[in-house]
Every structure is written in structure tokens, then in C-alpha cells.
Amino acid sequence: MNILERIKSDLAVLQGASATLKAYKELEAEGSRTVADDLERTVDRFPDNIAFRFEGQSLRYRDLDARANRYAHWALAQGLKAGAVVALFMSNRPDYVACWMGLAKVGITTALINSNLAGGPLTHSIDISGADHVIVSEDLAEPLAAIAPNLARTPKAWVQSLGQGGGAPNTMENLDAALAALPADRPSTEHRAGVKSKDLALYVYTSGTTGAPKAARLTHLRTMGMMRAFIGGGKAKSSDRVYVTLPLYHGTGGICGIGFAIESGATIILRRKFSTTHFWEDCVNEGATVFFYIGELCRYLVNAPPHPLERQHTLRLGVGNGMRPEVWEKFKERFGDLKFLEFYGSTEGNVSLLNFDNKIGSIGRIPSWMQARVNVRILKFDVETEQPVRGADGFCIEADVDEPGEAVGHIDPAEPRFKYEGYAGDKSQTEKKILRNVFEKGDAWFRTGDLLRKDKDGYFYFIDRIGDTFRWKGENVSTNEVGDVLAQFPGIVEANVYGVHIPGHDGRAGMAALTVSKDVDLRALRDYVVRELPTYARPIFLRMQPEITTTGTFKYRKVDLVRDGFDLARVSDPVYFDDPQSHAYVALTPEMSARIAAGEIKL
């Protein structure tokens, strides 16, 4: 980075950080401000602005407020008091937002249940919320009814119709009828008079990619902070039209995306589910100016066939995380050079980074003059033990420039942005994320569980999740980086990379679950892998899947794949092995698998 580039970047960071902190300003002193106050302020400023565009229908801010008020009165009618919990198990629709914001008007905490769950994970998520009532949309009534006998308590279920007739068990209460009988005026603020900014507003669940979902505790303060996180750096305006296709139970779409619009009086263009086919059509027809994304969403778009409207849009900004560099480049080339406000952070964590200067591949930059004002550090990390490295004095060591290490954030109870509220239920889950005695005796830092690196110019880059990075032949292998290389080979649509154990070998060998759009030339693929990847990072096994299994937020599920490994008794998909004798990917047979496990084939 030359001097002019540095000055330009410094200015972008300074302006972006200043605008972001300004949006947080009134939240700095913890008081009695709540999410409901933010909604009502916007409604009073922009009552006739369109709050939602959903399936051809418009909902004004005054109408959104009226709907939220009915939910508040519903809670009061059930005898619920401030601090009670209601679980929300609903697919994307404007009522999703009206519900949890309405409940906030009377101090009720809402547990945002992942709408993709069923069985044990759904039971667990409702149980740990402690909810006595569950609000469910008709399309999700069946999985809820199926697990009702297994719940630790028996919450009353209230079903909202989709207008399609039938489908809801008669054991559930009619939510539509209950709401229709209630007033639409604002309930007295006395009902939330005792609610403080530090009190709980929401439970938002982790995706459960490596275990049971955990319920992150979001206070009103933290929720409002997430809602305001991008209005400064993204220069939000009341004239913006914000396209949200992400699930509303997820922080990026459901809090940050919704908040970007609601905090500024803008319009939310809401879709039930993301659709590659309809994305550009929606953007053009609805005049979208901003969209919220997860990295895989953008990958789907660049891998899709050409769309006649893909260059006709009015998008000026994308906000999200997980955008890989090669996808970013392709997106710009194909769809236009809009700005991306790539960020790094987690719903429950206290580490946040923002890429204010549109640096491709980076998740943000912290100039040296700004370092003292932020709480993030990168620690040297041992992939084998999955623990930070400590020196002879017992304290952790900061990673070198360009050295991947675990990102941690100093927990400071006196600074709202640097707090860590933890999870509901098992306190050990909260404690697992705290690293103590890091740089001095008695300090406490939040463990992100992510490997990042920082270059000499202060730019941060995401490397991988801890546990996804594995060690083979004495080297660390990033599943994300290998997956990015594989995904660029013609015919490969998705590449989910992970490590598998081989008896008699240290570490884990690389394996990739692939979905392909056509027959892939395996000989050409191996030549490509040899050319593009170092020996230790090349996948030894390939598993061909008809589709990759993901969570509702497009994160790859790997736990089952790692468990299956290359065991053909478990795997029904075709598996190929990089045979060291023929120097080619060959179909794995039971006999060959047995020889590998016995150590007869040297790897």
C-alpha cells in the first residue's frame, strides 16, 4: 500500500467508523431505551412510508405499528408480564417483525426459533427458551405438533394462518382470531416502564452446524446496536429499498437488515426464501437499492445462468459477511461494481470488523493509530490442540503479521460494545467462549472460534472456523481455501471440504464433498488440483453428492460427513480416491478402503 492508498483508506475508515459510532451514540449510556422505542420513533417520523413490500402487497409504517400493537395486547391478554418468553416459529413474513417488536412493547422476550428445525433440535431450542407460549405459522405447525409430547414443559401453541385453508392441528389456538379481537392502539408505556436497555429482548440461536443450537442472549441494547450497525457506513436513507431474502431468525437478515430499514424509515422488500431465479427480477421490479447477503448467496448468483435483468438493477450496496475473494471479483465483473460493506462478527460475540473501503477479500481494516480503541487481537494458535499458544510466562502471544490465529475480543463490562452476554441455559456453554489470563492475570476475552490473519497494512482476512482447519503432513489446511480452489474448476457447483481420520496417520486427510452440474473430468480435475494446491492440501478423497447439505443460513453441515469419512458401509454416494500409484482419482472399492485403513497404501 503506497502513501496515497493509505491516506484514502485511512479516510474511509475514519469516516465509516465515525458514522457508525454516531449511530450508536445514544445507546452508550445504558438506560431505559428499548427496541420498541426505536420502532415507535420511526413510525412517528415516517407513518406513511412503506415499511414492507411482500408478495405484491405494501404495509405502511403506521400499519406495521398497529399490527405490532395487537401482538402487545395479545401478550397482555395472556397475562404475560415483562421478562416472560414467547417462542416464535414462523417463516418469513412482515408479521414476523411485527410480532417480536410488538412483544417488546410490553417487555416480553422473543425466542427466534430456526424455521428449518424439526425433531430433537426443535425440541431443544424451545426447551432452553423457557417459553410458555409458541407462535407458529401454519406451514410449520406440523413439525411443532410432532415434537409437542417431547417438550419439557407444555407451552400453548398459537397458529397463524397463511390464508391457504386448513393445515393446523385443532390442538392449537387460532392466533388470527385472537389478534382480530384486540385493539390496534399503542399499549401504555407503563407496561415496559421497568424494562432497561440491559434487559433481554431476544434469543437468537446459533446454526448448530457442529452440535445442538445455543440461544444467544440479546439485550435491547445489543439488539439496537445490531439494528444500527450499518446505517452509518451504509449511508442509509429513508428512500432506500432494502432487499432481505435471508431468514428472519438469523441476525444478519432479521436484525441487521430489518434494522437498516427501520432505523432510517426505509422500505424492506421481503421474500419468504432466497431464490437465485427470482433475485434479479425482484431487485429490478421492486427498485432495490441495498441487499443483505451471506457469502454463499452471492456464490449462487455468480454460478447461475445469465439473467436478462442482471445488469438492469439499481443496487448501490451489499451488506453481509462470508464473501470469498473470487466470488467478489466475479460479482463485480458480471453484475456491476456496487459497494460491498463486508463485515465480521457473530450474534453473541463482542468482536466486530467492517470493511469500509471496499477492499476485495478483506473483512475490515484497523490502522495502527486506531488499534488502541478496538478490542480485537489475533493469538498464535495450535491447530492440533485447538488452543491458543502460551509463552513461558503462561500468557498468550499475539500472532505475527500474516500469521493465521484465533481472533479474540476483550470483555469489558463498562463498554456496551465490548460486553458478552452469553447463552441461555447451560452456563458451561457461556464459559467455553471465555479465555482468561490472556495478556495479564484476571483479564477475560471472548473466543470467536475463528482463524483470522492481519496483513502489514492492518487489513483482516477470514481464514476458517476452528475445527474446520485441520492438520495433515505437519501443515495446517484451511477447508475454505481449498473449497474456493475446487469451486473454480469447470462443472463443480459446490465444494464442501473437511478432514477425515485414517488409521495410523497423524492429523486428518483432506476430503471434499462435491456437487457437479455435469460430468467432471476427474483426470483434468486432479491435474488442476496438483497445479493449484500444495501436496498437503490436496483432497485425497472425493465424495459426489446430488446436493450439499446446508443450514438455513447456507452454512455447510460437516459433522455427518466427517463421521462417515470414506467408510463405504456408511456412504452410498460415489467416492473417489487419489491413488498414488496411478496418479489419478479412481473409484474407491471396499478392498481399497480396507488396504488404506490397514496402512498398505502409503499416503
Point out which residues pair with 542 in neighbouring strands. 512, 576
CB 541 within 8 A of CB 577: yes
Q: Measuring CA to CA, which residue among 41, 46, 554 is closest to residue 268?
A: 46
Q: What count of other Cβ atoms lies within 10 Å of the Cβ of residue 338? A: 17
β-pairing, 434-436 with 444-454? antiparallel
In angstroms, rounded to a whole number, what is the distance separating the alpha carbons of residues 356 and 341? 6
Average pLDDT of span 578-596: 93
Amino acid at 582: S
Segments in 130-236 forming alpha helices (H): 141-147, 175-180, 220-228
Please tell me the predicted confidence (pLDDT) of residue 30.
61
Of residues 162 and 368, the one with the higher pLDDT is: 368
190 phi/psi in degrees, rounded to 5: -60, -25
Would you say residue 468 has pLDDT above 90? no
Would you say residue 393 has pLDDT above 60? yes
* Distance from chain centroid for Cα 118: 20
For residue 569 the three cell numbers come to: 458401509
Please tell me the predicted confidence (pLDDT) of residue 359.
93
Average pLDDT of span 485-512: 87
β-pairing, 133-137 with 241-244? unpaired
Please tell me the predicted confidence (pLDDT) of residue 36.
97
For residue 457 the three cell numbers come to: 497494512
Q: What is the per-residue pLDDT across 429-443, written as a single tens digit (0 to 9) for each? A: 899 999 999 999 999
Give the relative orientation of helices 61-77 and 94-104 as an angle to the nearest 10 degrees.
60
Q: What is the per-residue pLDDT across 348-388, written as a single tens digit (0 to 9) for each? A: 899 999 999 999 999 999 999 998 889 999 999 987 788 99
Q: What is the per-residue pLDDT across 126-141, written as a single tens digit (0 to 9) for each? A: 999 999 999 999 999 9
- Cα Rg of the chain, angstroms: 25
Give the relative orientation of helices 325-335 and 479-487 as an angle to the nearest 10 degrees.
40
Amino acid at 328: W
435 phi/psi in degrees, rounded to 5: -110, 125
Please tell me the predicted confidence (pLDDT) of residue 553.
58
For residue 309 the three cell numbers come to: 435483468
Would you say residue 208 has pLDDT above 60? no
Give the least confident one: 124-138, 260-274, 454-468.
Answer: 454-468
Would you say residue 474 has pLDDT above 70? no
Please tell me the predicted confidence (pLDDT) of residue 93.
97
Q: What is the per-residue pLDDT across 4-34, written as a single tens digit (0 to 9) for each? A: 989 999 999 999 888 888 877 777 666 889 9
Strands (E), 348-466: 353-354, 364-365, 376-379, 381-382, 387-388, 405-410, 434-436, 444-454, 459-465
Please tell me the predicted confidence (pLDDT) of residue 389.
97
Please tell me the predicted confidence (pLDDT) of residue 168.
66
Q: Read off the pLDDT band of 484 (50, 70, 90).
A: confident
Residues in the chain: 603
Q: What angle do CA 336, 359, 288 make, to 5 degrees?
A: 35
CB 105 within 8 A of CB 68: yes
Q: Measuring CA to CA, which residue among 233, 293, 246, 243 is closest to residue 267?
A: 243
Using left for φ > 0, alpha for ψ between -120 and 50, and beta otherwise, residue 237 falls in beta
Average pLDDT, the chain: 91
For residue 153 the three cell numbers come to: 414443559
Q: Read off the pLDDT band of 63 (50, 70, 90).
A: very high
Q: What is the per-residue pLDDT across 504-531, written as a single tens digit (0 to 9) for each? A: 776 789 999 999 987 789 999 999 998 8
337 burial level (CB within 10 Å; 0-12, 13-18, 19+) = exposed
Average pLDDT of span 226-250: 95
Q: Which residues contact 531 (CB under 8 A, 6 or more apart)?
A: none
Please tell me the predicted confidence (pLDDT) of residue 327.
87
Q: Which residues contact 288 (CB under 8 A, 6 or more apart)?
A: 241, 242, 243, 269, 282, 313, 314, 315
Q: What count of other Cβ atoms lies within 10 Å of the Cβ of residue 414? A: 6
First to last CA, the chain: 42
Q: Read off the pLDDT band of 167 (50, 70, 90).
A: low
For residue 240 the three cell numbers come to: 432506500
Please tell me the predicted confidence (pLDDT) of residue 550.
67
Point out which residues pair with 452 in neighbouring strands. 405, 462
Decide yes or no: CATH 3.40.50.150 for domain 470-597: no
Q: What count of other Cβ atoms lies within 10 Å of the Cβ of residue 387? A: 15
* Distance from chain centroid for Cα 361: 18
Helix (H) or strand (E) segment spanning residue 281:
helix 279-286
- pTM, 2 dp: 0.82
Would you say residue 211 has pLDDT above 60? no
For residue 603 the three cell numbers come to: 499416503
Would you say residue 175 has pLDDT above 70? yes
Would you say residue 164 has pLDDT above 80? no
Point out which residues pair with 133 in neighbouring strands. 86, 156
Residue 396 is given by DSSP the state: B
**Residue that the C-alpha cell 428512500 belongs to:** 239
In angstroms, rounded to a whole number, what is the distance separating the alpha carbons of residues 261 and 59? 13
512 burial level (CB within 10 Å; 0-12, 13-18, 19+) = buried
Q: What angle do CA 134, 139, 144 make, to 5 degrees?
A: 40
Percentage of the chain modeled with pLDDT above 90: 69
In angstroms, rounded to a whole number, what is the distance separating the alpha carbons of residues 39 and 41? 5
Average pLDDT of span 249-277: 96
Q: Report the half-sphere exposure of 598 (CA within 13 A, side-chain side).
A: 7
512 phi/psi in degrees, rounded to 5: -130, 125
Give domain limits for the chain.
470-597
Give the relative orientation of helices 94-104 and 35-45 as an angle to the nearest 10 degrees.
120
Q: Which residues contact 146 (CB under 8 A, 6 or more apart)?
A: 118, 119
Q: In what order do the strands lie in the sheet with 50-54?
A: 57-60, 50-54, 267-270, 241-244, 290-294, 317-321, 339-344, 353-354
Amino acid at 281: E
CA 193, 194, 196, 202 dihedral sign is negative
